[in-house]
Amino acid sequence: MRVAVVGLGKMGLPVAVRFAESGATVVGADIDPRVVAAVSAGCSPMPGLEHGLDERLAAVHAAGRLFATTDTTTAVAEADAVAVLVRLVTDEAGRPEYGALDSATRAIGAGLRRGALVSYETTVPVGDTRSRFVPALEQASGLRAALDFHVCFSPERVQAGRVFRDLDGYPKLVGGLTPGCLEVAARFYASVLSAEVLSLSSLEVAEYTKIAENIYRDVNIALANELGRYADELGIDFAEVAQAANSQPTSHIHRAGIGVGGHCIPVYPRFFIERAADSRLTTLAREINDGMPVYACDRLEAAAGDLQGRRVLVLGLAFRGGVREAGHTMTLPLVAELARRGANVRVHDPLFGPEGVRTQGLVWGDAGGGWAELLVLQADHREYRDLRPADLPSVTAVIDGRNFLDPAPWRAGRVVYTGIGRP
């Protein structure tokens, strides 16, 4: 089998590698020549980004099963199946920006051959595959969907840092344009993944399922954050409350924290908000979670007083612990709010290093020594687990935005320590 994977980003490249490991010959297409050059040399363009990617990419490249090109149309021309993983981003108002995905669709259509399968794995608003992408494929190819080629929607359901485990661990959802398209798509995914394949009744069901998954998590996190904020008022440790509540099997309360980052949860609920006639709960959840950096600054002021001129070290640029990924990270609004209140802010992240932090327009700070007066933990990297007051002897107050640090040594060292929902 020959497979084209369009989009070799942080999701597309691991998917291409996994397909190649199944025995398929895979051609990856990407518009970034640097990405293509790296993959063509058997090297990851994002070293260390994804667990196991560097070694697995090198292995399939050496076996002659993975190639790369900047010419999407050529990559598609010989393909039996095409997986589309070009990310759909949103503008500042949360509206989808289709430029890259539309361009990729036209290029796919230009090379599409009879009998091929096109699978959209990129998360899109409900209805887009049928109403937007299928007509574009037909126009560019001159072929008829469901008669001359097959179309399905099969959302990626993986998390950064654990893509390979999730690809084979979570059921693969597939919705087809027609029952015939669904049958072809289900056979394809059964041949390239070991995960269970779940056939759904339509493209729209598959599209909506992925969005619903992300809304569930966003709303649950917002609920935890709201409950955590009230726990702060009461002087109660919300982690104890959540653990006790979750002993009831119908309760699945998440952790309170400094907010939600990444390319999925902050983005995909907006596809629902933009199109649903009544999206009050989802909209409110987004507002609550986006507001948590401001709340963390409020907590810091309550613990340490006026922030004007104070030296604040933020731990973690990554959107969550253990990943070298800063998409929609809460660090950026957190730093902006601290600066608005007059603080002198520096950022540390062991996975990015000084240059990676500076690339985001931030000032690097060492996680040690006597510079910082105040400390805010934003990403729960394991490298921070054993931080103690002796490592940062000038720190007088800590806001643990992930409730990750051990509070005992900080309090024993007469440092004001608090978290989100942790008194």
| H helix or E strand, kind and range, residue 190 | helix 179-192
User: Coil, strand, or helix at residue 129?
Assistant: helix
Q: How far apart are CA 66 and CA 20, in angstroms?
A: 6
CATH number of 2-201: 3.40.50.720
Which residues on adjacent β-strands are paired with residue 96?
90
Domains 2-201 and 202-423 alike in fold:
yes
Q: What is the mean pLDDT of the chain?
A: 96
Which segment of 10-19, 269-278, 374-383 scores lowest on mean pLDDT?
Answer: 269-278
pLDDT in tens, 15-35: 999 999 999 999 999 999 999
- Say how far apart CA 86 and CA 15 lie, in whole Å: 12
Residue 91's pLDDT is what?
Answer: 87
The pair of three-digit structure tokens given for residue 81, joined into one six-digit string: 């199946």
pTM across the whole model: 0.93
From first CA to last CA, the distance across the chain in angstroms is: 58
What are the two backbone dihedrals, phi and then psi, of residue 255, each rounded to the nearest 5 degrees?
-85, 145
DSSP conformation class of 145: B
- Cα 189–Cα 268–Cα 329 angle in degrees, nearest 5: 110
Which structure tokens are listed for 321? 């612990």
pLDDT at 49 over 80: no
SS3 call for 117:
strand
Specify the amino acid at residue 163: V
Is residue 38 classed as helix, strand or coil in its secondary structure? helix
CATH class of 202-423: alpha beta
Helix axes 53-62, 12-21, angle to 10 degrees: 50
Q: Are 16 and 75 in contact (CB under 8 A)?
A: no
How confident is residue 92, by pLDDT bands cut at 50, 70 and 90?
A: confident
Q: Which two tokens stand for residue 423?
A: 């008194």
Contacts of residue 186, defined as CB under 8 A and 6 or more positions apart, other chains included, come to: 174, 197, 199
Residue-level length of the chain: 423
Predicted local confidence at residue 160, as pLDDT: 84
CA atoms within 13 A on the CB side of 146: 10
- Report the percent of the chain where pLDDT is more than 70: 100
Model pLDDT for residues 184-201, shown as the tens digit of each residue: 999 999 999 999 999 999
Percent of the chain exceeding pLDDT 90 equals 93
pLDDT at 422: 92
What one-character DSSP code corresponds to residue 364? B
Question: For residues 300 and 232, what is the distance between their CA atoms, to the nearest angstrom?
Answer: 13
Element (H, E) at 18: helix 12-21
Tokens of 289: 């979670």
Mean pLDDT of 59-87: 97
In order, the DSSP letters of 128-165 are: HIIIIIHHHHHHHH---BTTTBEEEE------TT-HHH
For 137, the enclosing helix (H) or strand (E) is helix 134-141
Q: Which amino acid is at 274?
A: E
CA angle 62, 27, 208 (to 5 degrees): 125
C-alpha torsion sign, points 359, 360, 362, 364: negative
At residue 253, does pLDDT exceed 90? yes
Where along the chain do its domains lie?
2-201, 202-423
3-state secondary structure of 143: coil
Q: Would you call 173 helix, strand, or coil by DSSP?
A: strand
